[in-house]
Amino acid sequence: MRSTPQELIKFYQSKKWKAVRAFIKQRDQGICQKCGGIGQEVHHKIPLTLRNYQTELAIDPENLVLLCKSCHDAERGAVQVREDVMFDEYGRMKPRK
Domain presence at residue 34: yes
Which spans in the chain are helix H? 6-12, 15-27, 69-79
Q: What is the structure's pLDDT at 1?
A: 44
Alpha-carbon gap, residue 17 to 90, rounded angstroms: 12
pLDDT tens-digit series, residues 13-44: 999 999 999 999 999 999 999 999 999 999 99
Return the amino acid letter for 18: K
Query: By residue range, what is the domain housing residue 50?
Result: 6-86
Domain presence at residue 95: no
The secondary element (H helix, E strand) that includes residue 43 is strand 41-44
Domain presence at residue 1: no
Average pLDDT of the chain? 87
pTM to 2 decimals?
A: 0.74
Domain presence at residue 97: no
Mean pLDDT of 76-88: 66
Mean pLDDT of 40-57: 91
Structurally, how many domains does the chain consist of?
1
